[in-house]
Structure 1
Amino acid sequence: MSRIAVIGGTGMNQWPGLEVDRRIELDTPYGPPSAPLLEGRVYGRRAIFLARHGEGHKIPPHKINYRANLWALREAGVQSVIAIAAVGGIAPWFAPGEIAVPKDLIDYTFDREHTYSDGSTGSELHHVEFSEPYAESLRAGLLDAARLSQTPVVGEGVLAVTQGPRLESVAEVRRIQRDGCDMVGMTGMPEAGLARELGLDYACLALSVNWAAGVQGIGDIHAEIARSIEDGMRKVRAVLAQLLPTLA
C-alpha cells in the first residue's frame, strides 16, 4: 500500500520515472476524482500520482473536484500528500524557474465545494484548526531534500489562491501583494483545507513559472511559462527523488 501521493498540476500532468503497475479507479460520495490514481514505484518507493487537472490536462482550476480527489487518496491508504503547484512570482526573490515551499496561504477563491462538513452526508460539523495550513514535518522534509540534492529553494512565503482560470490583473496582484502574499496560484485551496479535514499531512512545492501581472512588466507570458516549466520541473523532480526514500 502506498502511503505517499503526489498531486501534479500544470507542468506535471505525468510523473516521469513512475513505473505504474496499478490504475485505481475509485468513486467517492462526492463523485469521481480528476483521474485514476496511478500507483507504482519511483525512487525506490511505492507512491501514488494524481493528475489534478485530469488526464490530458483538461479540467480548469475552479472545476476540479477537490473533495473527490482528496477522499480518493485517503481511501487508497495515502497519509502524506505533496502538492506540486505552478504559480506566479510576486516577491522579488521568486523569479520564474525557482522553487519555494510555502508556509502559509490566503484563499481568494469562491463558489468551490470547499468542505466535507456541509451536511450532505449526515456527518457532524467540524471546525478544523488551520492556523498552519501545511504539515510542518512534511515541509521540513521538502526543505531537507532540497538541501541534500543541492537544489536551491529560494524561500517559503505566503501563497495567494485565486479563482482562475484567467490570470490576475495588475491591480489584483497589487492588492494581493499588500495582503502579504509572495506568490499566486489557482489550486492550493480548497485542496489544503480538505486534506486537513481528512487528517492527511499536506505540503506544497511551488514552482514560479512567470512574474505575476505588473511585477516585472508585460512580455510574452506564455513563452515565459513554457521556459520556466521545463527548467523548474527538473528541480521539482530532484527534490522528490531525494525526499521519497526518506519518508516512512
Structure 2
Amino acid sequence: MSMQNGAAMAADLLQRKDFKIGIIGGTGLEDPHIMERSGEVRVETPYGRPSDALIEGNVAGVPCVLLSRHGRRHQQSPTNINYRANIWALKKAGVSAIVAACACGSLREELEPGKLVLIDSFIDRTTKREQTFYDGLPGHPPGICHMPMHPALNERLRQALLATATRLGAAHSDRGVLVCVEGPRFSTRAESELFRAWGADLVGMTLCPEAVLAKELGIPYASVAVVTDYDCWRDTAEGVSIALVDETMRKNAQLMQKFFVEAISEVAGHKEQFVAEAQKAKQLAAASVMEGEHKLNFDHLC
C-alpha cells in the first residue's frame, strides 16, 4: 500500500460515523482473514503508537476494527503493551464497543483447559502499568478520573458474549473473577494458592488496565477468557508452561474465530441497545472526572 493510499484510508477510518465494534486479540484473532475488505491503518495517539496497525473491515457484514494486543508477531510482553495507545486508537477509530479475548490459567477444577469464561470482575495485581489517561501531562485530558468499577465489565456486552457461547454449544462458565498479574513470569505455587483463597477463578496478564482504560473513554468493554492450563496449584496436572499455553491456543483458534464472528452478529443485531449503552458509558466517563468545570469532551475522538 502506498503512503498516499494509507493516509487516505486513515482519514476515511477516522471520519466514519457508522456503528463499529473493536476487537482486541489475542487468542486466534491475529489473522485478519476473518474480515472482509480489510485494510491496515497506522494510528498515532497522544500516548504513542498502539501495539500494531489497526485492521479495518467487515466481520459478518458488520464494520469492525481489529487490534492485536501483543502485536501480530507477539513481540510485546504484557508489561510493555501500550494499553493507553491501544484503547485511544480504537476510540479514535470510532468504535462503539470493544470485545476482547485473553488466555488465562484456571484456579478451579471445573474450569478445565479449552473452556470459555465470561469474566465479570477482576483483582488487579499489576505494578508497572499506566492505569489512567489522566496523568496531568500536557496534551492529555485534564483532571483526575475516579471511575466506579462495579460492574467491572459492561454487563450488557458480557451477556451478548454469554448468549453467543450458549448458542454455539461451547463449554463455558457464565462468570469468573480474574487475577491480573504483572508477568511475564507465571505464578509461584504460593501465589496460585493465595489467589484461590481470595476466591479468584482465573489468572491472566492482560485484562488490566485494558478494561479500566476502555471505561475511562466511555467504551463498553467485555472479555472472554480461554482457559489454557491449571496454573501450578494442582498436583495432578501439568504445570503451566508456554508450550502448554500455545498448544491450547492453537487448538481453540478456530473456535475463537467462530465465536467472535457470532458475537459480533449478536451485538449488531441489538445495535440500538448498544448505541444507547455506549452513550451511558460516555456519560459515566465524563461524570467521573474531577477538575473544576472541566470534563473530557469525547466529540473530538468520534
TM-score by length of 1: 0.94
Shift of 1:199: 0.4
Counterparts of 1:220 and 1:153, CA distance in 2: 20
Which of 153, 156, 179 is the aligned partner of 1:137? 156
Equivalent position SS for 2:34: coil
Q: Which residue of 2 aligns with 1:241?
A: 261
In structure 1, which of residues 226, 229, 238 is the aligned counterpart of residue 249 of structure 2?
Answer: 229
Larger CA deviation: 212-221 vs 92-101: 212-221
Equivalent-residue separation in structure 2 for 1:122 and 1:209 (angstroms): 38
Partner of 2:173: 154
- Equivalent position of 1:22 in the other structure: 39
Of 101, 115, 131, which residue of structure 2 is paired with 1:98? Answer: 115
Unaligned ranges ≥5, structure 2? 1-15, 272-302
| Cα distance between partner residues in 1 of 2:171 and 2:85 | 34
| CA gap 1:198/1:219 in 2 versus in 1, 3 angstroms | closer
Determine helix, strand or coil for the equivalent of 1:192: helix
Larger mean CA deviation between 113-122 and 186-195 belongs to 113-122
Name the % identity. 33
- Structure 2 residue aligned with 1:183: 202
Does structure 2 retain, via aligned residues, the 8 Å contact 1:93–1:154?
Answer: no
TM-score, scaled relative to structure 2: 0.78
What is the aligned partner in structure 1 of residue 212 from structure 2? 193
Correspondent of 1:9 among 13, 26, 36: 26
The corresponding residue for 1:74 is 91
What is the CA distance between 1:131 and its match in structure 2?
Answer: 1.6
Per-residue CA shift, 1:193-247, capped at 9, x if unaligned? 0001000000011001111112244357344323311232333223222221232
What is the alpha-carbon distance in structure 2 between the residues aligned to residue 161 and residue 183 of structure 1? 8
Q: Unaligned 5+ residue runs, structure 1?
A: none
- Range with greater deviation from structure 2 (190-199 or 149-158): 149-158
Distance in 1, matches of 2:227 and 2:165, equals 16
Three-state SS of the structure 1 residue aligned to 2:31 is coil
Contact 1:98 1:232 in 2 (8 A): no
Partner of 2:145: 126
Secondary structure of the residue aligned to 1:161 is strand
Query: Secondary structure of 1:209's match?
Result: strand
Question: 1:16: Cα distance to partner?
Answer: 4.1
Deviation of 1:155 (Å): 3.7
Alpha carbons 2:28, 2:257 under 8 Å: kept: no
Distance in 1 (CA, whole Å) between partners of 2:31 and 2:141 is 36
- Is the partner of 2:79 in helix, strand or coil? helix
Shift in CA distance, 33/179, structure 1 to aligned 2, threshold 3 Å: same
Change (3 A) 1:122 1:38: closer
Query: What CA distance in whole angstroms lies between the structure 2 residues aligned with 1:32 and 1:74?
Result: 14
Q: Which secondary structure state, in structure 2, belongs to the residue aligned with residue 74 of structure 1?
A: helix
225, 237, 245: which one aligns with 1:206: 225
Say if 2:61 is the partner of 1:41: no
Larger radius of gyration: 2
- Cα pair 1:61 1:164 within 8 Å, conserved: yes
Matched, 1:172 2:184: no
Question: Counterpart of 2:172 in structure 1: which amino acid?
Answer: V
The CA distance in 1 between the partners of 2:201 and 2:212, in whole Å, is 20
Please give the secondary structure, in 1, of the residue aligned with 2:129. coil
CA RMSD across the alignment: 1.7
Corresponding pairs, count? 248
